[in-house]
Amino acid sequence: MRMPDLVGDVASVLLTEEQIHQRVTELGARISADYQGRELTLVSVLKGSLPFMADLMRAISIPVSIDLMEVSSYGGTATESSGLVRILKDLSKPIEGRHALIVEDIIDTGLTLNYLSGYLRGKNPSTLHICTLLDKPARRLVDIPIDYLGFTIPDQFVIGYGLDYGEYYRNLPFIGVLRPEVYAAP
């Protein structure tokens, strides 16, 4: 892969820092109201949801625990998920009897989250719900019930605010559309 041009490889800005901040604040307020008085664990799915998790948890005004999982899909390509998921890092504490909320960056085919929610359900939380910043419904293969949603986006490959292409671009503070020439290049 050629060296990325962090800003030059962005075809257009889809969501600005301000738009993201405002929506994350709204989601945090809703989650705070819904889980009032409950034992909530936010389960972030590394690495893509790292900035979203960091902002969302600070927009939540009730006591919460956090935990981190890391998964990688394999057998696909840099822009296509395969649905084969490997757990690289598991939860550090049991969630049995607690209310668990998965914090995800983006749902595309839904295969990753379908696997992950089945896996976490097996750990017997009291409830298990899903919060995703982005939803790309055009390519969905399995139905995923989304409880908290930031934005629905069109079928374009996006980068920034944690989202990567080939592990780069995660540090862009906004969400942009990657120039198709970048992933078409050999």
**Residue 184 in tokens:** 């078409």
| Site residues (CB under 6 A) for ligand IMP, limited to 12-41 | none
Exactly one of 109, 117, 129, 172 binds ligand IMP (CB under 6 A); that residue is 109
Closest by Cα among 154, 139, 151, 168 to 48: 168
Compute the least distance from the CB of residue 36 to ligand IMP, in Å: 29
| Three-class secondary structure of residue 19 per DSSP | helix
Pick the catalytic residue from 105, 108, 135, 164: 108
Exactly one of 9, 55, 108, 135 binds ligand IMP (CB under 6 A); that residue is 108
Alpha-carbon gap, residue 72 to 85, rounded angstroms: 6
Nearer Cβ to ligand IMP, position 35 or 51?
51
Element containing residue 149 per DSSP (H, E): strand 148-152
DSSP state string for 104-144: EEEESSSHHHHHHHHHHHTT--SEEEEEEEEE-GGG--S--
Residues near ligand IMP (CB under 6 A), total: 15
Cβ atoms of 4 and 168 closer than 8 Å: yes
Nearer Cβ to ligand IMP, position 128 or 159?
159
Compute the least distance from the CB of residue 59 to ligand IMP, in Å: 21
| Residue 106 within binding range of ligand IMP, rule CB under 6 A | yes
User: Is-catalytic flag, 155?
Assistant: no
Exactly one of 53, 56, 60, 111 binds ligand IMP (CB under 6 A); that residue is 111
Exactly one of 112, 120, 131, 161 binds ligand IMP (CB under 6 A); that residue is 112
Cβ atoms of 19 and 43 closer than 8 Å: no
> Could you list the residues that contact ligand IMP (CB under 6 A)?
48, 81, 105-113, 136, 157-158, 163
